[in-house]
Amino acid sequence: MNYRLRHNVELVERDGENFLMSKTPLSVLRLNRSLADLVERGSDGKLISASALEQGVMEQLTTKGFAERVRSTPERNITVPEVSIVIPVMNRADELRRCLTSLTQLTYPHGKLQIIVVDDGSSDDSPLVAREFGAILIPSGGVGRGPAAARNVGAAIAQGEILAFIDSDCSASRSWLCELVPAFANPDMQAVGGQVDGMCTESAVDRYEAVMSSLSISSRELTGSGGTDTFYLPSCNLLVRRSAFRSAGGFKDSMHVGEDVDLTWRLRDNGGTISYLPAGNILHEHRSSLRSFMSRRFDYGTSEGMLQILHPARRKRMTLPPLLVLVLALCLSAPFTAGLSLLLAGGVLTIDATVVRRRISAQGLPITFSAILAGRLRAIGSLAYYLCYHLIRYYSTALVVISLIVPELWILFGTVLACSSGVDYAIKKPKLSFPVFAAIYLLEQLSYGAGVFWGCFNKKCFASYKVDIFKQTLDTLINHQSKDNVMLSRQS
C-alpha cells in the first residue's frame, strides 16, 4: 500500500527530536527515530511505499489525519473478484439505457461481471432496454415495492463475490469498479462507497447539487468500523461483500429512504469496516426543479425517526471546549455591550492560548504561540459554523415561526443562516451567486427539517433532536497527544 503526507502536514526536527505537525487542524505528534525515517520517505510529496509491517503504523497516521492512502488500480493480469451489478428500476427506460451504456464501457474485465436489472413493475420500456443490453432481468415481485426491496431480490440471485449497487438514473465512469474493488483486499472491508457527481449543470438547483448533494460524502478517504458515529455510504454507488450483505440481512424492504444508512450501520455493528473513497465516481441525475428538490430533501428527513429507533446508540455528537464557547458567546454579545465583550473575548482567548502553549511546551512540542493562536481562532470558527448549521438544519422552521411573532429574532435567524451558508459557499465554491445559493440553502434546510419533524412525529420518537455534548479540556487534549505518541512509538 502507498501513502503520502497530507498537504498541511510537515516533518519537523527540534533539539534532536522529530515531530509531525498538522496546521489544520492544529496537532503535533512526537515520532521516534525509526518512524521519522519512515515518514521522511514522503518528503516533498513523494509516495511512501509501506511494507506489510509498516502499514499498521501508516494506517494509524492516516486515521489521525497526518497521512492519506494512495490506491492504485489492479494490473490486468492480477486475478480480480467477480462482481454482480444490481440496478433497481421503475419507469426509467431512457435513464436505464444511459446507465447500461456506461457499464459496457467499464475497464473492469467483462468476463468477471454479472449485470442484474430488477424491474419494480414498470409500465414503460424498461424491461425491453434491459433485455437489449443482455442484462439478467427479474421482477421485484410487485409494483413500486421500492429500491431496497428490488436490490434485495437482485442480490438473492447474484453470483459475484462483490455486489455493486448503482441506480438507474446514474452513469458509471469507465474506472468505477477498478478504483473501488481493490479496497476489498483488506479482509475486514465489508462495504466501499465511491464519489457521486452531478450529471447536469443547466439549472440553479443543478449547480447547487453539484457541490451540496447529500450523496457527495467527502473529498478525502473516510473509514468507519465500530463506534457510534453516523458515517454511512449512499446506495447509488455502493459495493458490498456478498457474504457480509447476506449476514447483515440486506436492505430493509420497508424502507424507501435511509435504507443505505441502516445497512451500512448494521455492517459496522457486525464488526466490519466500511470505507468511502473519493474515486470510482458515478454521475447522478439530481432532481432539477425546486419542487422536486425540496420534496426529496423532505423525504430524506423523514428517515431520521426510524433510524433513531433502529439505532438508538447512534446520535449526533458535538465537542464544546469551555473557554472557546465562552469566547464565542462574548463575541455574539458584542452588539449589546457596545463592543466591550469583544475586549473580554480577546483577553479570554489570549489566556487560553497561553495556557495551551505552556502545556505543550512542557512536553517539548515545537509549536509557536502564533500557530496556537491561529489554531484556536480556527477552532472558534468551526464551533460557530457547526452550531449554526445544527440550528438551521433542525430548527429553521421553528426559528422562522418564532421570528414572525418576535421580529427582533430575525437578526438571530439571519446571522445563523449567513454564518452557515457563508462558510459552505466559501468552501464549496458553487457556480452561483451567494444570494441564490443562500436561498436554495434555506429551502433545503426548511424541507429537511420539516421532514425530520414529520418522521419523528409519525414514529413518536424525537431522539433525533438530542445531541450528545462532550466537554474538551486542555488536559484531555494534551494527554491524548502523549498517548498517541507512546502507541505509535511502540509499534514502529
Report the C-alpha gap between 348 and 330 in whole angstroms: 9
Select from 73, 375, 67, 83 the least CA-distant residue to 223.
67
pLDDT tens-digit series, residues 51-61: 877 887 887 88
pLDDT tens-digit series, residues 333-392: 887 787 789 899 999 999 888 888 887 777 666 677 888 888 888 889 999 999 999 999
C-alpha cell at 131: 433485455
Report the C-alpha gap between 106 and 173 in whole angstroms: 7
C-alpha cell at 41: 520517505
Burial class (CB in 10 A: 0-12, 13-18, 19+), 226: exposed
Q: Which domain holds residue 27?
A: 2-70
Identity at 217, one-letter amino acid code: I
Residue 476, pLDDT score:
44
Out of 22, 47, 70, pick the residue that ends a domain.
70
C-alpha cell at 338: 457596545
Do 191 and 278 fall within a single domain? yes
Q: How close are the terminal C-alpha atoms of the chain, in Å?
A: 17
Residues 6+ apart with CB under 8 A from 268: 224, 225, 226, 227, 274
Do 62 and 91 fall within a single domain? no
| Domain membership flag for residue 300 | no
CATH number at residue 126: 3.90.550.10
Do 132 and 279 fall within a single domain? yes
| Domain membership flag for residue 491 | no
- Helix ranges (DSSP H) in 106-193: 126-132, 147-157, 176-180
pTM: 0.84
Confirm if 277 and 221 have CB atoms less than 8 A apart.
Answer: yes
Query: What average pLDDT does the chain have?
Result: 87
Do 243 and 189 fall within a single domain? yes
Select from 88, 85, 31, 86 the least CA-distant residue to 58.
31
> pLDDT exceeding 90 applies to what percent of the chain?
54
| Domain membership flag for residue 298 | no
Distances (CA, A) of 9 to 6, 17, 66: 5, 17, 6
pLDDT tens-digit series, residues 75-122: 444 579 999 999 999 999 999 999 999 999 999 999 999 999 999 999
Residue 78, pLDDT score:
59
| Listed range (41-55, 122-136, 160-174, 394-408) with the worst mean pLDDT | 41-55
Do 236 and 376 fall within a single domain? no
Do 180 and 251 fall within a single domain? yes
- pLDDT greater than 90 at residue 479: no
| Domain membership flag for residue 310 | no
| Domain membership flag for residue 242 | yes
| Listed range (21-30, 39-48, 89-98) with the worst mean pLDDT | 21-30
Report the C-alpha gap between 466 and 479 in whole angstroms: 29
Do 346 and 471 fall within a single domain? yes
Select from 55, 61, 49, 59 the least CA-distant residue to 11.
61
Residue 472, pLDDT score:
57
Report the C-alpha gap between 489 and 483 in whole angstroms: 10
- At residue 179 the predicted structure's pLDDT band, cuts being 50, 70 and 90, is very high
Residue 241, pLDDT score:
97
Out of 238, 267, 288, pick the residue that ends a domain.
288
Give the DSSP per-residue string, 391-425.
Answer: HHHHHHHHHHHHHHHSGGGHHHHHHHHHHHHHHHH
Residue 481, pLDDT score:
41
pLDDT tens-digit series, residues 223-246: 888 788 889 999 999 999 999 999
- At residue 483 the predicted structure's pLDDT band, cuts being 50, 70 and 90, is very low
- pLDDT greater than 50 at residue 490: no
Number of domains in the chain: 3
